[in-house]
Every structure is written in structure tokens, then in C-alpha cells.
A and B are shown apart, each in its own frame.
Chain A
């Protein structure tokens, strides 16, 4: 039997033109998390990838701006959770990396020990002091390099003097004992030239609290109750600490976030109708409550997806079953970001700073191309 006209497969009435067939759309936009490993994880960027179906998936900056959406879910003083739709995984990861390692902060770098008779060794105490989050805005400070002298524009000086009386009970040294010295270092550098005037370790030309930026908010530690050391009777700690500006890349104490992470939006789909006792079992299996029972009337119960956003991919619903009832998917371009700040910046300022830093990086990478 021969047909008089030749029909292309693409002209068949049931093939949708102009947009991708269902299964290809699933492959392109969803990661399917099977019981053993995820599939379709690669991001398909090339505009001609589906050229044979007549679909153009090109994405220029204008199309990006139209499809892009941000939605803030939760915003507190320390934490922000927001959704970004329409970006690629590489951009999300870049923001996470920049938030953790490249947003500058202030942290204690040099500790001048005058007297330490506690059981905590000098270097261990100095290490702990470095990790204490400070309430200073790093935008008001400059970096201190090796050849610079420490002055009021690049250093913050703190003092700690604690002692425990003989015969008294033990003293816990908490971070509120770190007192800010707005006039700079009080310790004298030893010089062998007796005629020269004694110099201190920092040369502040004016007091830091006379500067307008610092008069509103005194520079102190963010959290008062961090335990730094414990003193027994007769033990003394006397030290001076200098804080400078730095980035998380050099040492983690300069990281402005407790942590920052993202996850892709989960999508949980029931492949078959699950009724009755099986429905009850499925609802019980999920530890976070993704499924729920739907009453159909006349005593019949059916399982339905109530809250797929809570899915943590524990895979309890697909483990050990003989047939696949549930499909766990992730939407490739929808990211749920959470940023927890340690206090120097507020979390929304942190994200804006991270975007600015990424823009500066891009500019540096192109402008220095001769």
C-alpha cells in the first residue's frame, strides 16, 4: 500500500508544534530523582538543541529579564529565605560561593598578649578571639596591607582585662569583656632608642568615636555571651586585639554568613492512584508531611500531594516498593536560597553586596583583556 503524499512525522496532527513534546520538556526542565540516582541533571543551554522539532530555546538578556522572578518567603533580622526563578545552577552556585568567601568583613587578626595565666594557651585564645563576630560595617574601613601603618581607617582596637580573685569562685570570660578602644592602642612598642618618644602599636590621628559614622553605633561584638575562656582563682588575662578587614577566602573568620545554601524546588508527582490502606501507608512513610489523605466520599480514601515544597529527598516513599507510585522531581531553574548572617550585614544587604561583587568580577575579567 502506498500513499500518494509523503507526510513528515512532524506534521502528524497529534505532535505539538511550537513547543516541546511533554517528555522532552520534562527532560529539559526537571531533574528526576530516581531511587538510586538523579537523571537529566545537565542543563541544556544551546539554542539549537531542539532544532529538529522546530523549537528555539535561545535565552538572551531580554528574555531572561522577562522570565526572571524573585519572591521573598521569610525575612528576619538574621535570616532571609527567598525563591529565585529563571536562573541557572551556575549563577546560584556563584552567589553561594561569593556569600561564603568573598564578601569582606572585620575580624580580630592580631592579638597582643600582656598577661595570660589561664589554662587556655595564647594561640588558642587568639584563635577563638578571631572567630568572634564583630558589629562593624566593613564598608567604612579600608584594607590594611603589610606596609601600611594601622590607623583609625583600617583597624579597630579592643582590650580585655579579666582576673579571678584568689579564694573566689571560677570566672567565665565571655565576649562582652572585649571593650572597644576608640583612641587606638594603649600599649607602647619597646624601642632601644631612649631619646625617641615611645610609639604605640597604632597611630590614630583622631579618636574613632569622633568620626560621624561610628558615633551612632559603637563598634563592639555582636553576641555578648560567647564563652572565650574560663579562669581559676589567681588567673589573669590581659590582652589587646586589633581587628582588620578581610575576606572569607583568606580565613573563614572573615565570612559574613553563618552559612548560605540553596536547594531546587521539589515537585512530587503521584504516578498512579493510591487508594485505601496503601494511601494511609504512603502518608505515614513521609517524615515531613508531603502527602495527605483526600476523602472521596462513601468511605474511599485517596492519597494526594499536599506540600511538595517540604520534600527533603529522603526517598522513603520510593524505597523498597515493587512498583513506582511516586516520582520525585526537582525544577532545574527554581532555587530556594537561605542566607543566615552573623551580624555585620543584614541578610538582604548581603545578597545585594554579593551581586555587586559578581558584577565587579565580570568587569575585571573583560576590561583587562587587551
Chain B
């Protein structure tokens, strides 16, 4: 009865921004990114990629409530980098890795189909 509509899980309403940024007032080089209408699918990947960055001291994500469809990603970096830089770098790296993955899968698929055809 009180549950929100299911399309709210991915439709960003008018007026709210998809990603908003909040600097942490008490700790230097730390910030929280609130991503609307996303869930563990992108949150866990982003967290894993941020952990690979040597300049990142802290990276974590959480869903504050399962019925509020947003994630909060908290990043703290050394003074050599900034949270926005680490975030952009992580997404760039992810894009490159996904490109490589897609190409690898398509190559393997054509190779397997060739093998099947020759096997007959």
C-alpha cells in the first residue's frame, strides 16, 4: 500500500539531479556522492574499482534504505588526488575494461561458432 511504484527504481524525477556531490566538512579530501535511482549493480562495481586506486584511502557505498532508490558513495583520498578525480578515473577505467570484455566475448563467440561449423 505504501510501497513506491516499481518504475521509480530507475526513472529520475524532474528536478532532482542524477549525481550530487557533498564535501565532508570535518575531513580533508573526503566527499559523498549521492547517485539517484541506482543500486548494488553499479555501487559494488564502483567501490571495487575505487579500491584499486592507490590514492584512495577510503571507498564505500551504501543503500540508506531499500525503498529509497539511491546509493551514497563515500570517497576519501590522499592529498595527491581528489574524490571527484578518483571517481572519474574509476569510471573511465571501468569503461575501458567493459570495452575490452565485450570485444573479447565477441571474438570468442565467432571463434566458437567457426569451430562448431568446421566440426560438422
Contact = CB atoms under 8 A, between A and B. Distances in A.
Nearest to B17: A368
Interface string B66-100: 00000000000000000010011001111111111
A369 B45 CA distance: 18
Interface in A41-98: 43, 45-48, 58-61, 64-65, 68-72, 75, 82, 84, 87-88, 90-91, 93-94, 97-98
Question: Of A69, A250, A369, which is in contact with the most chain B CB atoms at under 10 Å from its CB?
Answer: A369
Given A72-B112, A362-B95, A58 B10 contact: no
Contacts of A306: none
Residue among A250, A352, A363 with max Cβ neighbours from chain B (10 Å): A250
A70 B52 CA distance: 22
Contacts of A47: 52, 54
Interface residues of B, number: 45
A60 B99 CA distance: 14
Contacts of A368: 17-19
Interface stretch (A8-16, A150-158, A181-189, A353-361): A353-361
Nearest to B95: A362
A75 B119 CA distance: 14
Given A88-B48, A362-B42, A365-B19, A68 B105 contact: no
A369 B84 CA distance: 9
Contact of A43 (B48, B93, B105, B109): B48
A359 B17 CA distance: 20
Contact of B48 (A45, A75, A97, A363): A45
B14 to A, nearest CB: 14
Given A249-B6, A368-B19, A359 B54 contact: no
Contacts of A361: 38, 41-42
Contacts of A249: 6, 9-10
Residue of A90, A91, A250, A348 with most partner-chain B CB within 10 A: A90
Interface string A341-355: 000000010011001
Interface in B8-56: 9-10, 17-19, 21, 33, 35, 38, 40-42, 44-48, 51-52, 54
Contacts of A358: 41-42, 45, 98
B-side interface mostly = helix
Given A94-B41, A97-B40, A69 B104 contact: yes
Contact of A46 (B33, B52, B96, B101): B52
Given A64-B100, A365-B18, A90 B44 contact: yes
A364 interface: yes
A359 B46 CA distance: 12
A233 B38 CA distance: 52
B59 to A, nearest CB: 9
Interface of A: 43, 45-48, 58-61, 64-65, 68-72, 75, 82, 84, 87-88, 90-91, 93-94, 97-98, 102, 247, 249-251, 348, 351-352, 355-356, 358-359, 361-366, 368-370
Interface of B: 6-7, 9-10, 17-19, 21, 33, 35, 38, 40-42, 44-48, 51-52, 54, 84, 87-88, 91-102, 104-106, 108-109, 112-113, 116
Given A75-B112, A365-B35, 19 more contacts: A69-B104, A70-B108, A75-B109, A75-B116, A88-B48, A91-B45, A93-B41, A94-B44, A249-B6, A348-B105, A352-B106, A355-B101, A359-B102, A365-B42, A365-B46, A366-B91, A369-B19, A369-B33, A369-B87
Nearest 4 A-B pairs (CB), nearest first? A45-B51, A368-B18, A61-B96, A90-B44
